[in-house]
Amino acid sequence: VVGSSGPVLGPVVGGIILQGLSWRWMFLVNIPIGIVALVLALRTVPKDAPGSDAPVARLDITGIALIGPGVAAGVLALSQAAERAAFATWQVLVPLAAAVLLLGGYAVHALGARRTAPLIDLRLFTRRSFSASVTVGALVGLATFAFLFALPLYYQQARGHGAFASALLLAPLGVGSALSMPLTGRLSDRLGSRPLVLAGGVVAALSALAFTRAGADTPEALTALAAFTLGLGLGSVGAPTIASLYRTLPSALVPQGSSVLYMLNQLGASVGIATVALVVQTAGDGDAVRGFRAAAWTVAIALVVTLAAATQLPGRPEPRQEAPDTSADTGTDAPDAPLSETTPSAVATR
């Protein structure tokens, strides 16, 4: 719920800033926000130093040096392609080649034998339910931020609204997500993640298809309703997907698994914005409505892929405790057993 409040509050604050201040304040506003977050973290987040008998894992410096710049280079290639509306230019091909080399180098590094554990253990992806969870998480990030990028452009360029009014019209998406996430997160404990994600994906895909018919004279009540149902659907996908990852991974692998899920969600967001920017520019060709409809089709296709990945998520949880991790070296999925109420993973699920 807290995370989904961003689509409500962020654009509204941004619209207020752009109404009366320089565009540089879009970045400067993060300074006081960051200071407040730092103070709150120091006051509220407890210290959790490892026990005296627990081994302290060394940081994978090589992995950080490869995967961080590799992901950044890939997003830069997409951004340059969107800006130039072409792929066969050195501004696109150079960062794309760098991304392939860096990420390929990380794969070799992570799968090789070493004393330091890799930053992200790629063997996690041999677990079917884990791979499905992070794929759905990435696609949800893509769909959410693609619409957060495209919908304000539609309201400003096709409807003639200012930044603040466009932000207010974007708020129904965040409200819908904030309403559905706690409900579907709780229901996933009883029904499992798969049926909820499939249902939410269908609602979100139909909402995206509704936007493919939007025009310059479409009543704003209808576009606001479609944004609300889109948020309901995306929230119904997001919360059960997070729960499925916590539920199916052994406790020792939950920290790394949740890190992968968050990273791919953010990567999907970056890719979604870059892709939609490319689609709006190339398919729209100066026509705001046509470009927005093409962006909506792009999101709808991504949500259809999400439905395909969701079929591999775990179904109804079985009423038994977490089994020992016997699948780390075999590439098989651990049983979909719910964790006890007292474990950190069960608390995180709720």
Q: What is the average pLDDT across 255-273?
A: 83
Closest CA to 250 of 319, 327, 139, 150: 327
**Other C-beta atoms within 10 Å of 119: how many?**
22
| pLDDT for position 343 | 39
Under the banding of pLDDT at 50, 70 and 90, the label for residue 317 is low
Q: How far apart are the first and last CA of the chain?
A: 12
Rounded mean pLDDT of the chain? 81
As a whole number of angstroms, the distance between CA 100 and CA 77 comes to 11
CA atoms within 13 A on the CB side of 96: 12
Residue 165: exposure state from Cβ atoms within 10 A (0-12, 13-18, ≥19) = middle
Give 165-216 pLDDT, tens digit per residue.
888 888 888 888 888 888 888 888 788 888 889 999 999 999 999 999 998 8
Name the token pair of 311: 């079929």
pTM for this predicted structure? 0.77
For the CA atoms of 14, 20, 24, 28, what is the dihedral angle to 10 degrees?
Answer: -60
As a whole number of angstroms, the distance between CA 308 and CA 186 comes to 23
| pLDDT for position 328 | 45
Greater model confidence, 328 or 240: 240
Greater model confidence, 88 or 73: 73
As a whole number of angstroms, the distance between CA 85 and CA 259 comes to 33
Under the banding of pLDDT at 50, 70 and 90, the label for residue 74 is confident
Name the token pair of 186: 């709780």
Give 106-163 pLDDT, tens digit per residue.
999 888 866 777 878 888 888 888 888 888 888 988 998 898 889 988 999 888 888 8
Q: What is the average pLDDT across 41-51?
A: 81
pLDDT at residue 341 tops 60:
no
128: which residues sit within 8 A by CB, 6+ positions away? Answer: 312, 333
| pLDDT for position 55 | 61
5: which residues sit within 8 A by CB, 6+ positions away? Answer: 174, 178
Q: Which of 152-161, 278-287, 310-319, 331-340 has the lowest mean pLDDT?
A: 331-340
Q: What is the average pLDDT across 70-90?
A: 81
As a whole number of angstroms, the distance between CA 250 and CA 257 comes to 10
Between the CA of residue 182 and those of 1, 19, 51, 114, what are the distances in Å?
A: 7, 34, 34, 41
Q: What is the average pLDDT across 245-249?
A: 79
Across 204-236, b (16+ Cβ under 10 Å) vs e yields: bbebbbbbeebeeebeeeebbebbbbbbbbbbb
As a whole number of angstroms, the distance between CA 173 and CA 229 comes to 7
Please give the DSSP secondary-structure letter assigned to residue 46. Answer: P
As a whole number of angstroms, the distance between CA 120 and CA 127 comes to 14
pLDDT at residue 226 tops 90:
yes
Name the token pair of 82: 């969107």
| pLDDT for position 54 | 58
